[in-house]
Structure 1
Amino acid sequence: MIKTRAETLVDQLSLEQQVQLLTGTDWWNLQGFPELGIGALGVTDGPSGARGAGGIMGGTKTTAFPVGISIGASWSPELARELGSALADEALDKGARVLLGPTINLQRGPLNGRNFECYSEDPILTAELAIAMVEGLQSKQVGATLKHFIANESEIRRTVNSSDVDERTLRELYFVPFERAVKEGGAWAVMSSYNRVNGTYAADNEWTLTDVLRKQWGFDGAVMSDWFGLRNTTAPVNAGLDLEMPGPSRWRGQALLDAVAAGEVSADAVRTAALNILTLVIRTGAIDETAPRTEVENERDSTRALIRKVGAAAAVLLKNDGAALPVTGTPKIAIIGPNAKAARVMGGGSAGVNAYRRTSLWDGMLEAFGADNLSYAEGCTNHRFEPILRGSFTREWFGNDTLSGAPIYSDSDASMASFLEYLPKGVDKLDHSIRISGSFTPAETGTYRFGLHCTGRGRLLVNGAEVVEAWDSWTRGSTMFEEGCDPVIADLTLQAGTPVEVVFEFATKPTFDLHFHAYQVGVGIVKTEAAIAEAADLAAEADVTILCIGRSEEWDTEGWDLPGMALPGAQDALVAAVAARAKKTIVVLQSGGPVEMPWLDQVDAVLQGWYPGQEAGLALADVISGAGYPGGKLPQSFPKGLRDTPTLGGNDDSTYPGRDGHVVYTEGLFIGYRYHEQQGIAPLFPFGHGLSYTDFSLGLPMVDLDGEGQGALRIAVENTGARTGSEVVQLYIAPLAAPVERPVSELKGFGKIALTPGTTGEVLIPLKPRDFAYFDVATQSWIVAGGDYELRIGTSASDIAHRVTVTVSDQVLPV
Structure 2
Amino acid sequence: MIDSILDKMTIEEQVSLLSGADFWTTVPVERLDVPKIKVTDGPNGARGAGSLVGGVKATCFPVAIALGATWNPDLVERMGVALAQQAKSKGAAVLLAPTVNIHRSGLNGRNFECYSEDPMLTAELAVAYIKGVQSQGIAATIKHFAGNESEIERQTMSSDIDERTLREIYFPPFEQAVRRAGVMAVMSSYNRLNGTYTSEHAWLLTKVLREEWGFDGIVMSDWFGSHSTAETINAGLDLEMPGPARDRGEKLVAAVREGRVEAATVRAAARRILLLLERVGAFEKKPDLTEQAVDLPEDRALIRRLGAEGAVLLKNDGVLPLAKTSLDRIAVIGPNAASARVMGGGSAQIAAHYTVSPLEGIRAALSNANSVSHAVGCRHNRLIEVAKGKITVEYFKGRGCRGTPLHVETVDKGEFFWFELPSGELDPANFSARMTMQFVPEESGDHVFGMTNAGLARLFVDGRLTVDGHDGWTRGENYFGTANDEQRGTVALDAGKAHAVTVEYDPPVATGEGINLTAIRFGVEKPLGEADIEDAVETALNADVALLFVGRDGEWDTEGLDLPDMRLPGRQEELIERVAAINANTVVVLQTGGPVEMPWLGKVRAVLQIWYPGQEMGNAVADVLFGDVEPGGRLPQTFPKALADNSAMTGDPAVYPGKDGHVRYAEGVFVGYRHHDTRAVEPLFAFGFGLGYTRFNWGEPRLSASEMGAEGVTISVDLTNIGDRAGSELVQLYVRSPKSRVERPDKELRAFAKLSLPPGETGTAEMRILPRDLAYFDIEAGAFRAEPGDYQLIVAANAADIRFVIDLPSPLDYLLPPSHQATSLIA
TM-fit CA distance, 1:323: 4.1
Q: What is the percentage of aligned positions where both structures have the same residue? A: 47
Give the match's secondary structure for 1:485: coil
Instruction: Tell me if 1:59 matches 2:61.
Output: no
Instruction: Tell me if 1:665 matches 2:665.
Output: yes
Instruction: Specify which of 812, 817, 823 is matched with residue 814 of structure 1.
Output: 817
Distance in 1 between residues matched to 2:232 and 2:582, nearest whole Å: 61
The aligned residue for residue 90 of structure 1 is: 86
In structure 2, give the amino acid aligned to 1:738: S
Distance in 2 between residues matched to 1:584 and 1:6, nearest whole Å: 67
In structure 2, give the amino acid aligned to 1:353: I
Instruction: Specify which of 198, 215, 220 is matched with residue 216 of structure 2.
Output: 220
Instruction: Specify which of 66, 69, 79 is matched with residue 65 of structure 2.
Output: 69
Matches within 5 A, 1:604-619: 604-619=605-620
TM-fit CA distance, 1:484: 0.9
Distance in 2 between residues matched to 1:736 and 1:145, nearest whole Å: 38
Which whole-Å deviations, capped at 9, do the CAs of 1:109-146 have from their partners, x for residues lacking one?
11000010000000000000000001101111111100
Instruction: Tell me if 1:122 matches 2:118.
Output: yes
Instruction: Tell me if 1:342 matches 2:339.
Output: yes
The aligned residue for residue 150 of structure 2 is: 154
Matches within 5 A, 1:95-494: 95-290=91-286, 292-331=288-327, 332-369=329-366, 370-404=368-402, 407=405, 409-423=407-421, 424-494=423-493
Distance in 2 between residues matched to 1:727 and 1:585, nearest whole Å: 26
Which whole-Å deviations, capped at 9, do the CAs of 1:690-726 have from their partners, x for residues lacking one?
0010011211011123433612111001111111110
Distance in 1 between residues matched to 2:621 and 2:409, nearest whole Å: 40
TM-fit CA distance, 1:583: 3.1
Which whole-Å deviations, capped at 9, do the CAs of 1:266-299 have from their partners, x for residues lacking one?
1111100011111111111122333551111111
Change (3 A) 1:25 1:724: same
TM-fit CA distance, 1:33: 3.1
TM-fit CA distance, 1:235: 0.9
The aligned residue for residue 723 of structure 1 is: 725
Which whole-Å deviations, capped at 9, do the CAs of 1:425-478 have from their partners, x for residues lacking one?
243333443322222111222321111111122221111111111221212111
The aligned residue for residue 755 of structure 2 is: 753
The aligned residue for residue 790 of structure 1 is: 792
Change (3 A) 1:408 1:301: closer
Give the match's secondary structure for 2:66: helix
In structure 1, give the amino acid aligned to 2:65: I
The aligned residue for residue 778 of structure 2 is: 776
Distance in 2 between residues matched to 1:393 and 1:188, nearest whole Å: 42
In structure 1, give the amino acid aligned to 2:676: H
The aligned residue for residue 495 of structure 2 is: 496
In structure 2, give the amino acid aligned to 1:506: Y
Which whole-Å deviations, capped at 9, do the CAs of 1:174-221 have from their partners, x for residues lacking one?
000000011011101100001101111010001010000000000001
Distance in 1 between residues matched to 2:166 and 2:16, nearest whole Å: 34
The aligned residue for residue 530 of structure 1 is: 531
Which whole-Å deviations, capped at 9, do the CAs of 1:288-328 have from their partners, x for residues lacking one?
33355111111110111011001000000000013433444
Distance in 2 between residues matched to 1:291 and 1:198, nearest whole Å: 40
Give the match's secondary structure for 2:682: coil
TM-fit CA distance, 1:399: 4.1
The aligned residue for residue 563 of structure 2 is: 562
The aligned residue for residue 508 of structure 2 is: 509
Distance in 1 between residues matched to 2:653 and 2:636, nearest whole Å: 26
Distance in 2 between residues matched to 1:741 and 1:715, nearest whole Å: 30
The aligned residue for residue 700 of structure 2 is: 700
Change (3 A) 1:302 1:407: closer
Distance in 1 between residues matched to 2:806 and 2:750, nearest whole Å: 14
The aligned residue for residue 643 of structure 2 is: 642
Structure 2 unaligned segments of length 5 or more: list them. 819-827
Give the match's secondary structure for 2:156: coil
In structure 2, give the amino acid aligned to 1:810: D
In structure 2, give the amino acid aligned to 1:788: D
TM-fit CA distance, 1:687: 0.4
Q: Residues 584 and 604 of structure 2 are in contact (CA less than 8 Å); yes or no, is this contact kept in structure 1?
A: no
Q: Residues 320 and 626 of structure 2 are in contact (CA less than 8 Å); yes or no, is this contact kept in structure 1?
A: no
TM-fit CA distance, 1:405: 5.4
Which whole-Å deviations, capped at 9, do the CAs of 1:229-265 have from their partners, x for residues lacking one?
1111111110111111111111111111111111111
Distance in 2 between residues matched to 1:198 and 1:740, nearest whole Å: 22
Distance in 1 between residues matched to 2:322 and 2:756, nearest whole Å: 18
Higher mean C-alpha displacement, 431-440 vs 254-263: 431-440
In structure 2, give the amino acid aligned to 1:336: I
TM-fit CA distance, 1:40: 1.7
Give the match's secondary structure for 2:13: helix
In structure 1, give the amino acid aligned to 2:696: F
C-alpha root-mean-square deviation of aligned residues, in Å?
A: 1.4
Q: Residues 542 and 583 of structure 1 are in contact (CA less than 8 Å); yes or no, is this contact kept in structure 2?
A: no
Distance in 2 between residues matched to 1:420 and 1:693, nearest whole Å: 47
Distance in 2 between residues matched to 1:583 and 1:664, nearest whole Å: 46
Q: Residues 674 and 746 of structure 2 are in contact (CA less than 8 Å); yes or no, is this contact kept in structure 1?
A: yes
TM-fit CA distance, 1:408: 5.0
Distance in 1 between residues matched to 2:642 and 2:519, nearest whole Å: 34
TM-fit CA distance, 1:70: 0.5
Distance in 1 between residues matched to 2:409 and 2:298, nearest whole Å: 37
Instruction: Specify which of 730, 741, 754 is matched with residue 743 of structure 2.
Output: 741
The aligned residue for residue 11 of structure 1 is: 7
TM-fit CA distance, 1:610: 0.5
**Aligned positions, number:** 810
Give the match's secondary structure for 1:23: coil
The aligned residue for residue 540 of structure 1 is: 541
Q: Residues 34 and 290 of structure 1 are in contact (CA less than 8 Å); yes or no, is this contact kept in structure 2?
A: no
Give the match's secondary structure for 1:727: strand
Distance in 2 between residues matched to 1:538 and 1:583, nearest whole Å: 14
Give the match's secondary structure for 1:288: coil
Q: Residues 189 and 225 of structure 2 are in contact (CA less than 8 Å); yes or no, is this contact kept in structure 1?
A: yes
TM-score normalized by the length of structure 1:
0.97
Distance in 1 between residues matched to 2:510 and 2:586, nearest whole Å: 50
Matches within 5 A, 1:579-594: 579-594=580-595
Give the match's secondary structure for 2:477: strand
Q: Residues 508 and 518 of structure 2 are in contact (CA less than 8 Å); yes or no, is this contact kept in structure 1?
A: no
Structure 1 unaligned segments of length 5 or more: list them. none
Q: Residues 447 and 491 of structure 2 are in contact (CA less than 8 Å); yes or no, is this contact kept in structure 1?
A: yes
Q: Residues 320 and 625 of structure 2 are in contact (CA less than 8 Å); yes or no, is this contact kept in structure 1?
A: no
Which whole-Å deviations, capped at 9, do the CAs of 1:499-525 have from their partners, x for residues lacking one?
011111222333653222111001111
Distance in 2 between residues matched to 1:291 and 1:116, nearest whole Å: 32
Instruction: Specify which of 752, 759, 762 is matched with residue 764 of structure 2.
Output: 762
TM-score normalized by the length of structure 2:
0.96
Give the match's secondary structure for 1:761: strand
Distance in 2 between residues matched to 1:569 and 1:531, nearest whole Å: 13
Distance in 2 between residues matched to 1:636 and 1:484, nearest whole Å: 31
Higher mean C-alpha displacement, 322-331 vs 564-573: 322-331
